[in-house]
Amino acid sequence: MFVKAPPMPIHLRDLTPIDTNEAALLFFAAVHRGTADVYSAAQREAWAGKAPAPKAWEKRFDGVSGVVAESSGGMIGFMTIDASGLIDLAFVHPDHTKTGVGRSMYHAVEIRARVLGAPRLRTFASEQAKPFFIRMGWTVGAPNTVIKGKVTLQNYKMFKSLPD
C-alpha cells in the first residue's frame, strides 16, 4: 500500500531579483511537467521554450512584488503581484502541487494586494491554474487566446474583487 509522506514545512519569503535563475527553472518544470495533462507538447514548448532560459528572466521581477515558497532550502513555488492587482506569475513545482504551496503563496499575495490598495485582482489563468483560482474565490471572465509563433494556447481572464 502506498502511503503519502506528510507535507514538508513551507517557508514564505519575499521574491528578489536573485531568484530569477531558480524561478526560470521552476517555471520550465511547472509548464513542461505540470501542465502536460492539459496542453500539448507543442503548446508547452511555445509557452516555456525547449530549455530553461534564466537569462531571459533577468528583468522579469522588475516592478512587481512577489512571494517565494521554500521547503528544505529550495524554491518550490513563486507568485507575483503588481500595484494594479495583476498576478502575472503563479507557479508551483510539479513535485509539490496539491500540498498547500499555492494556497499559502496566494493568501500572502492577496494580503499584499490589499496593502497596495488594489480594489480588484486579475490574472490570465492557464487551464491548469483555473480550478485553483476558482477555489480561491475568483470569477472566470472570458477565454483568452494566445498565439506564439504558429501555436495557439488558451487561458482565461479571471478576476476577484477585494472589498474594503
pLDDT at 58: 85
C-alpha distance from residue 124 to each of 16, 60, 149, 159, 164 (Å):
23, 17, 19, 9, 24
Task: Give percent above pLDDT 70 in the chain.
Answer: 95
pLDDT digit string, tens, across residues 57-104: 988 898 899 999 999 879 999 999 999 999 999 999 999 999 999 999
**Does 7 score more than 80 pLDDT?**
no
| CA separation for the pair 65, 19 (Å, rounded) | 12
56-68 burial by CB neighbour count: b if 16+ within 10 A, else e? ebeebbeebbbbb
End-to-end CA distance of the chain: 49
**Residue 141 covered by a domain:** no
Exposed / middle / buried, residue 45 (Cβ in 10 Å: 0-12, 13-18, 19+): middle
Q: Domain for residue 124, yes or no? A: no
Question: Is residue 73, in this structure, part of any structural domain at all?
Answer: yes
Domain-located, residue 110: yes
Number of domains in the chain: 1
pLDDT of residue 118: 93
Residue 101, amino acid:
V
- Please report whether residue 127 resides in a domain: no
Q: Average the pLDDT over each of 1-10, 31-40, 121-130, 140-149 and give the range with the smallest value.
A: 1-10
Assigned domain for 131 exists: no
Q: In angstroms, rounded to a whole number, what is the distance separating the alpha carbons of residues 117 and 29? A: 33
Examine residue 70 and state whether it is found in any structural domain, yes or no. Answer: yes
148 Rama class: left (phi>0) / alpha (psi -120 to 50) / beta: beta
What is the model's pTM?
0.92
Assess if residue 55 is contained within a domain: yes
Give the CATH number of the domain where residue 29 resides: 3.40.630.30
**Which domain covers residue 79, as residue numbers?**
11-118
